[in-house]
A and B are shown apart, each in its own frame.
Chain A
């Protein structure tokens, strides 16, 4: 599809600011994605992710700055923007008293499909999202994962070219999360452009072509997943000894193996940056040789908190409560 004359961005926001009373939700944020790509917007609760999505989706007006979707200005051409987008909110925005199929048929009819076409489209989507069996049940009887799928289905009724997914997997168990990832990959394969907000680097890494890390309403880093991982360091090795008395020995051992200083997380667990996953077998044999039994030994991408610590030298606000 053609977007604005000047760029091939499916959406672009420049210098968006938004203040709610005393809270500066957005402090001049730039976001953009080229057609057919996924932009991951990574940030903790309260960073401004949802506010940015709501402005791009024409639900909210920015105090300053501009935003265009599919080449259309979100304020001046809001109607055209609404014809272009699909929105899946953080909180499933389906009508709980309506059945799955009633929800989708209603959206179809609001998008000017004939009753017959709306019904056919609803059935296709329900089948695609594994909801055919539950089609006749009120959405309030659905599980969390089913509700998210119905919500996503509802935002796809109009075959949108640009899809905003605001934390689509928050609260889903890991298996359901991976199902959702497959769905998102399929959408992109079919040519859609996706803005995905998330609190998980792992999710942004799995799906996004580019990632904008935001904090306090500003973009503090923008890069490809590969580039971002180079900045924040790739994987982390976490080890929790069965006997906390071994923590000191373990710390020395990990420092020797990696050349990095391990960090304690206050739960008798040490985490250290590693260059690659070759370290895992080495770590296993060294621990065994030293007679240190472990309850946990894992290799993982940095958590959001670790990303923030590396980028800003400060913990995320939410980590103070979670002590993650």
Chain B
């Protein structure tokens, strides 16, 4: 090893930063860390199974196994009904991996490194959420694309369909903070999966994803109607197939804001406390 490197001490003069510029730094740091997550996904593409193959298998199972029995026997009709619903479920399930990965990451030394750097404490978490954007984008494109192959057709127009996808991804980026929070709290990444499924399964099945809410008993209808997945599915169904959008859109927006307001601070606090 040659000793040609000079390690001149860094000037430690405080660099006062305006709040706005600090926020810009944090955003840039978050993008650098998002790139890290994307490189990791690129190296192990099987991490994308839950947003590619898995929802497609769900679609095939439900359309061809149950489709004949539901929706008065018309498989095509059921496909039109089911696809927007399964997109909602896919987003909820796709968020589980984020918490699992963060939980596994934090046990390794690299998060100590991040914490010893002069970057915002939130940057690693925000970066991971940014990287998840691409997972949800892949989910939407693959899933709707495959739906087309087996006969799904939009009943509206391409712009409405793109809007449905954009809203789905935006919702996903809010919903996934639950997973980040559980990822910070749970003691193992297996536990993250267990806890998240306890949440995701009732939310996605107890909604308008698979069958109309009107067929459920009254107490379940109450749950299914306020359920954020039902609201999102309502928006997607309205924008892709047909049906009312405005009220669902309003409630989806309320849920998104609520999820952020509650779970971003909770996740940040849990991260800070985690040694």
Contact = CB atoms under 8 A, between A and B. Distances in A.
- Taking residues whose C-beta sits less than 8 angstroms from the other chain, chain A's interface range is 35 or more
A190 B109 contact: no
Interface residues of B, number: 38
Interface string A74-105: 00000110111101010111111110001000
A60 interface: yes
Given A85-B116, A125-B5, A95 B10 contact: no
B116 A87 contact: yes
B119 interface: yes
A186 B3 contact: yes
Contact of B112 (A79, A80, A85, A93): A93
A191 B39 contact: no
A159 B117 contact: no
A225 interface: no
A125 B109 CA distance: 20
A237 B122 CA distance: 55
Contacts, number: 120
Contacts of B119: 110
A265 interface: no
Contact of A106 (B2, B14, B32, B44): B32
Nearest to A81: B118
Contacts of A59: 112, 115-116, 275
Nearest to A157: B117
B127 to A, nearest CB: 10
Given A80-B12, A80-B118, 5 more contacts: A94-B109, A94-B110, A98-B39, A107-B117, A192-B9
Interface of B: 1-12, 14, 25, 28-29, 32-33, 35-36, 39-40, 43-44, 108-119, 123, 275
Interface of A: 1, 57-60, 70-72, 79-80, 82-85, 87, 89, 91-98, 102, 106-107, 109-112, 124-125, 128-130, 138, 151, 154-156, 158-161, 179, 182-183, 186-187, 189-192
23 contacts: A70-B12, A79-B118, A80-B12, A80-B14, A80-B118, A82-B117, A83-B118, A84-B10, A91-B109, A98-B39, A98-B40, A102-B36, A109-B29, A110-B117, A125-B5, A128-B2, A151-B109, A154-B113, A159-B10, A187-B7, A189-B3, A191-B9, A192-B9
